[in-house]
Structure 1
Amino acid sequence: FALKQMVLPGLLVIAVPVLVGFLFGPVSLGMLLVGATASSAMLGFFFNNTGALLDNAKKLHETGLCGMKGSESHNASVVGDTVGDPLKDVAGPSVLIFMKLLGMTALLLLPALL
């Protein structure tokens, strides 16, 4: 089931540079790469750091410095850690892979455009 869900993002990463390159030319393809690289680099950095921050917040609560185990703030930090782990371990690296794959697709397409 998970591999079937990856078909659409995979096609998107391959189809968008091809369509932009052939419809609008190499300059537009370059601008697509600049925008996608800048936004995905910042987004990947944000996802990784946010996930690590939420994980460390839970660890701080478990030391007893910010509240005892079972308190409302500790329960909130556990929920934050539950959200933060997928951000740090899945979403951040996958955005960076998207950035690399988009650039590689454009590089392979470039000889056909020039």
Structure 2
Amino acid sequence: MAISASKTGDAWDNTKKYIEAGALEHARSLEPKGADPHKAAMIGDTIEDPLKNTSGPSLNILIKLKAVDSMPQHQQ
């Protein structure tokens, strides 16, 4: 579940950046800051921060723990 939460948070963050950048034709068609697509992306931003900032560090700890746990006994 942590992997899913982390990736969901990243996707929401990238969506907001995509709309704000307006670099591509499709992004420009979504209207500028303050328009409904940008407002929706900002709501997503309040959701994505906790998803990214809590699940990412917990995944890091889990990966390190599994690496230590998977070592053969004679190497510990």
TM-score scaled by structure 1? 0.44
- CA radius of gyration, larger in: 1
Secondary structure of the 1:69 match is coil
Aligned to 2:9: 51
For the 8 Å contact 2:12–2:41, the answer to whether it is kept is yes
Which structure 1 residue ranges, 4+ long, deviate > 4 Å from structure 2? 97-100
Q: Does residue 1:62 correspond to 2:20, yes or no?
A: yes
The percentage of aligned residue pairs carrying the same residue is: 41
In the aligned structure 2, how far is the partner of 1:67 from the partner of 1:55?
Answer: 18
Q: How does 1:1-114 map onto structure 2 within 5 Å?
A: 43-64=1-22, 65=27, 66-94=30-58, 96=59, 97=61, 100=65
In the aligned structure 1, how far is the partner of 2:31 from the partner of 2:4?
Answer: 27
Unaligned runs of 5+ in 2: 70-76
In the aligned structure 2, how far is the partner of 1:67 from the partner of 1:45?
Answer: 32
For the 8 Å contact 2:3–2:55, the answer to whether it is kept is no
Q: Which amino acid aligns with 1:60?
A: Y
More helix by share: 1
Instruction: Calculate the aligned-residue CA RMSD, in Å.
Output: 2.2
How many pairs are equivalent?
Answer: 59
In the aligned structure 1, how far is the partner of 2:20 from the partner of 2:34?
Answer: 10
CA offset digits 1:57-111 (Å, max 9, x no partner): 00011023132110011001011011101101113433x34785xxx7xxxxxxx
